[in-house]
Amino acid sequence: MRREQTKKVYVKDIPIGGSNNVVIQTMTTTKTKNIEETISQINTLATAGSAIVRLAILDIEDANAIKEIKNRVNVPLVADIHFDYRLALICADNGIDKIRINPGNIGNKDRIKLVVDKCLEKAIPIRIGINGGSLEKHITQKYGVTSKGMLESAKYHVKLLEELNFTNIIISLKSSDIYKTVEAYRMASREFNYPLHLGITEAGTLFSGTIKSSIGLGILLYEGIGDTIRVSLSTDPIEEIKVAKELLSSLGLYKKPKIISCPTCGRIQYNMFDLVNKVEAYLEKIDSNITVAVMGCAVNGPGEAKAADIGIAGGKKEGLIFVGGKIKRKVKENEMYDELIKEINIYIKKDVS
């Protein structure tokens, strides 16, 4: 897939932009000052596949907590700060790897310069995070809450940093409206060479937010736009990572096992939903590009799932294992899961060797 070439920006050792993979990130939901809880959640999120983790920094206690947190986790951390430039300075001194702050919101030029100088000294990037719901007054007066307004807001904040010779920048232009978000990112990708952090903000619950994010982010990623993504859902951030991985994997932008399964119909003669859920749970632990099919019947199953590397089509009291669309052997119904897993493991070993 063709991807827009952007400037490469490092968040600790993770490159964002250029021709690098789209980076998955999420945000903790703990109070950052609750150090133990925060560290535990960061480690859980990192293990689940979040390459970068962002934390909300609300006050000095949160900013001070970064020191110990940084000492005890490996994944790069981002401090999410609104308005208070002093919090940005403390976080940078405490070893944070990136700061999300909008320079236009932190007061006069002297304060912006203090933050910029500190980020230059520590070699950490700044993400300008435009949010459709909180555009500056001078922007909304002229453009309203529109994609153009979001772009103009981004240009305003970028200019403030560039005037101070700071270009270690990442930009996001999030809105809860898919149309506005997509248009804003399209315009930003034409306007800037800086890497883009994609997101649909306040997307909703696990179900509705997943659909909304998949449409919005899917359109952009399909067009080659986006260097890092955060799926925002009103649920455990672990789910955000799962959705992000699936989204990227569906577009061939992330290496992860794929599962193909039929919707079932009147031809089904076994408990396929149970089997497919168990197989999916198993595949989640595997690092491979394998595509596995779990199909409802042997009449159409192998044919419908030709693209799969390995598959199974259940029937009455037995199932057919197929490899590369061709039937390999019959297995008993109560052995279907174990036999399929055996074949998956044989395939993975061959694939690696």
**Sites of contact with ligand SF4 (CB under 6 A):** 262-265, 267-268, 295-297, 299-301, 304
Least spacing, CB of residue 276 vs ligand SF4, in Å:
11
d(CA 334, CA 198): 45
| Cβ-proximal residues to 121 (8 Å cutoff; 6+ apart), any chain | 92
Q: Which is nearer to ligand SF4, 203 or 305 (CB)?
A: 305
| Beta carbons of 215 and 178 less than 8 angstroms apart | yes
| Beta carbons of 63 and 57 less than 8 angstroms apart | yes
Q: Which is nearer to ligand SF4, 286 or 323 (CB)?
A: 323
In one-letter notation, the amino acid at residue 304 is: E
Q: Which is nearer to ligand SF4, 185 or 322 (CB)?
A: 322
Q: Which is nearer to ligand SF4, 144 or 303 (CB)?
A: 303
d(CA 99, CA 281): 35
Letter string b/e over residues 46-60, b meaning 16 or more CB atoms within 10 A of that residue's CB: bebbbbbbbbbbbee
Residue nearest to ligand SF4 (CB): 296
- Compute the half-sphere exposure of residue 74: CA atoms within 13 Å on the CB side of its CA: 5
Least spacing, CB of residue 290 vs ligand SF4, in Å:
20
d(CA 352, CA 349): 5
Least spacing, CB of residue 291 vs ligand SF4, in Å:
16
Least spacing, CB of residue 228 vs ligand SF4, in Å:
37
Q: Which is nearer to ligand SF4, 135 or 297 (CB)?
A: 297
Least spacing, CB of residue 298 vs ligand SF4, in Å:
8
